[in-house]
Copies of this chain bind each other. A is one copy, B any other.
């Protein structure tokens, strides 16, 4: 049950959600975290006038991928709405996915033939160069545009990786993606046939098998990438849009395709722009400020440096953001939230389960609880430690966009 149902009202107020990817950290130098080590005079000033707290992206001890991390921030239960591997891969490569689509991750592989039967020699085709991948994928795409009325859309990734979308003429019923991987996961084995676990999935599997056969024919003379293995068949989850659920007109300002893709899944308009700096994002935000009322701005590099274990790099991204903060404030959003989608502590070199600092600024906060925007200071805040998916409710409330519940 959605408690917001019937409570939503519209009032033209503007909500700005800034996500510093992988923001949260752990002590990395002199017992201090990346946020504690960073010099952030503007955040220091803002945080004292803001509601602070921590959010748990999925559940205690659970390390979220980018999909669940963002869905939670967008107000969706990340356990209920799970995004399949194939869809995420396609989104990450900047492909559009529709409710008529089955998406899947592909590997180019090397096989030898024994009496006409393929046997896997290398599941990654010797990790062919990305350039080689692009050439081969283009060759495949030019040769296979559709199969039995189903459009085939290919996109190369890095090295041996690519994504395929099977675009059907009609929306697909739930469960149409219940198809096994064709990757046998072991050298010396024959690739598996795709098999559907139900009648709808069987129809999809039939197209998949024809596609694999035709690809093998086209690739048969390639020295390394002479076969394809497919994993993670998935369809677009059936998610109500943010406009439907929250009554906002939302847009996304992000550099990386994955985050634009995730935003598009919940119905955000994706604002395209040139450049990849925070300043470029601010210019874009200014440009569309009058057209929307919910703005998701994504800053990626906090996570990238955290994944590299480069705490100085992570600190520099935080400090760079802090320098730009006044420009965000100049836009005078009615509600401003700053947080991360999960923690990426430099000492872990990866996503982690730790709660993430959260700041909400509006005229309707207590404030005065945290001295800085850090993990330990946000623990003292008025929001407490809350599930990520509850943040959206707080933003709507602070924006005056929720009616009273009950009389």
Task: List residues of chain A with CB under 8 Å of any chain B CB.
Answer: 1, 3, 7, 26-27, 31, 33, 54, 58-68, 78-79, 82-83, 85, 88-89, 345, 347-348, 350-355, 363-369, 375-376, 379-386, 390, 393-398, 402-407
Contact = CB atoms under 8 A, between A and B. Distances in A.
Given A59-B393, A61-B393, A366-B376, 6 more contacts: A3-B59, A63-B402, A65-B405, A67-B406, A352-B364, A353-B397
A218 to B, nearest CB: 29
Given A85-B407, A402-B63, A406-B65, A380 B382 contact: no
B83 A402 contact: no
Contacts of A68: 405-406
A380 B370 CA distance: 12
Given A3-B59, A402-B63, A366 B85 contact: no
B384 A376 contact: no
A63 B397 contact: yes
Contacts of A1: 79
B33 A63 contact: no
A353 B65 contact: no
B3 A405 contact: no
A384 B384 CA distance: 8
A368 B376 contact: yes
**Copies of this chain per assembly:** 2
Contact of A367 (B27, B350, B353, B368): B27
A40 to B, nearest CB: 18
Contact of A364 (B54, B78, B348, B366): B348
Contacts of A376: 366, 368-369, 382
A64 B386 contact: no
CB-based closest 4 A-B pairs? A61-B393, A61-B397, A384-B385, A65-B406
B390 A379 contact: no
Contacts of A26: 364-366
Nearest to A400: B348
A93 to B, nearest CB: 13
A189 to B, nearest CB: 23
Contacts of A64: 404-406
24 contacts: A3-B79, A26-B364, A27-B366, A27-B368, A31-B367, A31-B368, A58-B406, A59-B393, A61-B390, A61-B394, A61-B396, A61-B402, A62-B393, A62-B405, A63-B404, A67-B406, A67-B407, A83-B406, A83-B407, A85-B407, A347-B364, A351-B404, A368-B376, A384-B384
Given A59-B390, A65-B407, A405-B63, A375 B365 contact: no
A208 to B, nearest CB: 21
A363 B364 CA distance: 36
A36 to B, nearest CB: 10
A266 to B, nearest CB: 15
